[in-house]
């Protein structure tokens, strides 16, 4: 059996989040031996800090094994097609990394204190694979109160970022992780962490990790908030 063999009978739940009813897919039990990826992270992966400028992720990252990314894509193809309407015959791009949240709240940059999008491109999907204890926290989705936006596409981006700049000019958010509604953003949905749970959502959705520093911001993959973060961008990705 491959280290990254998958099951065919994994659990699939489709959530519709917020007023925009954006789909978030929750999958449990996709991999036959998910500990293999934890072992790789602990024994072989070369983690390094990310540059603060323009970076949303508050920690360190390492490349994920190519065999993992390939197995992940093959397992998720039916979900992309059936839930999101992706045309699998078109071209696609993929990336996958292992991530550990390690940054203390007082070191967070402004972007890391806010919900964010990964890109306004509706063709890109985030695939978040939890490889940690549930106490490290899942992921939440948000609505920007001033604009009412829960997702940001190319058309909405100028309005959203102008409004956000105006708000931040009036005062930056406190140095803490976003785990609930704030004066600027309303939490409209959340998915709890579970070992070997996978989330799929379009990268243009406003979201943030529910990171609890009290649970331990460790750089040890066997103890910390270890996730695998993958992005798939499809040539023909269906309607957002």
Query: Is residue 50 pLDDT above 80, yes or no?
Result: no
Question: 29 in helix, strand or coil?
Answer: coil
Strands (E), the chain: 11-17, 22-28, 48-49, 59-63, 92-101, 124-130, 139-144, 185-191, 197-202, 207-209, 226-234
Question: 37 in helix, strand or coil?
Answer: helix
- Look at residue 52 in the predicted model and tell me its pLDDT: 54
41 φ, ψ (degrees, to nearest 5): -60, -40
Query: Is residue 1 pLDDT above 60, yes or no?
Result: no
Average pLDDT over residues 41-58: 80
- The reported pTM is 0.95
**CB-side neighbour CA atoms (13 Å) of 23:** 18
CB within 8 Å of 45: residues ≥ 6 apart: 62, 63, 98, 221
Query: Is residue 54 pLDDT above 60, yes or no?
Result: no
Average pLDDT over residues 44-56: 75
Query: Is residue 53 pLDDT above 60, yes or no?
Result: no
Higher pLDDT, 54 or 7: 7
Query: 35-48: buried (b, 16+ CB within 10 Å) or exposed (e) per residue?
Result: ebbbebbeeebebe
* CA dist., res. 20 & res. 22, Å (int): 5
Q: Please spell the DSSP secondary structure of 134-186, one letter per residue.
A: GGG--EEEEEETTT--SB--TTTHHHHHHHHHHHHHT-PPPSS---S--SSEE
Average pLDDT over residues 71-94: 95
Please provide the average confidence, as pLDDT, over all residues in the chain.
94
Average pLDDT over residues 180-198: 97
In which band, very low, low, confident or very high, does the pLDDT at 2 lie, cut at 50, 70 and 90?
A: low
Query: Is residue 56 pLDDT above 90, yes or no?
Result: no
Instruction: Write down all domains in the chain, each with its CATH number in brackets.
Output: 11-234 (2.60.120)
Query: Is residue 236 pLDDT above 90, yes or no?
Result: no
Average pLDDT over residues 51-73: 86
- Look at residue 51 in the predicted model and tell me its pLDDT: 67
pLDDT digits (tens, 9 = 90+) for 141-150: 999 999 999 9
The percent of residues above 70 in pLDDT, for the chain, comes to: 97
Query: Is residue 177 pLDDT above 80, yes or no?
Result: yes
Question: 66 in helix, strand or coil?
Answer: helix
């Amino acid at each position: 059996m491959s280290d990254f063999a998958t099951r065919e009978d994994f659990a699939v739940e489709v959530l519709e989040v917020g007023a925009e009813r954006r789909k978030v897919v929750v999958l449990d039990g996709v991999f036959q031996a998910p500990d293999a990826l934890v072992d790789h992270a602990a024994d072989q992966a070369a983690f390094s800090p990310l540059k603060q400028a323009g970076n949303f992720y508050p920690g360190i990252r390492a490349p994920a094994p190519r065999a993992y990314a390939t197995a992940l894509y093959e397992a998720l193809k039916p979900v992309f097609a059936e839930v999101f309407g992706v045309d699998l015959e078109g071209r696609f791009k993929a990336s996958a990394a292992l991530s550990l949240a390690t940054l203390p709240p007082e070191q967070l940059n402004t972007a890391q204190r806010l919900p964010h999008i990964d890109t306004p491109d509706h063709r890109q999907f985030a695939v978040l694979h939890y490889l940690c204890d549930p106490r490290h926290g899942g992921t939440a989705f948000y609505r920007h109160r001033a604009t009412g936006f829960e997702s940001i596409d190319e058309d909405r981006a100028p309005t959203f970022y102008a409004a956000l700049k105006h708000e931040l000019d009036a005062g930056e958010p406190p140095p803490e992780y976003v785990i609930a509604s704030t004066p600027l953003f309303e939490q409209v949905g959340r998915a709890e962490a579970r070992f070997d749970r996978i989330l799929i959502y379009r990268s243009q959705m406003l979201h943030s990790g529910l990171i609890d520093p009290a649970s331990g911001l460790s750089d040890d993959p066997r103890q910390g908030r270890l996730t695998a973060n993958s992005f798939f961008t499809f040539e023909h990705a269906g309607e957002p």
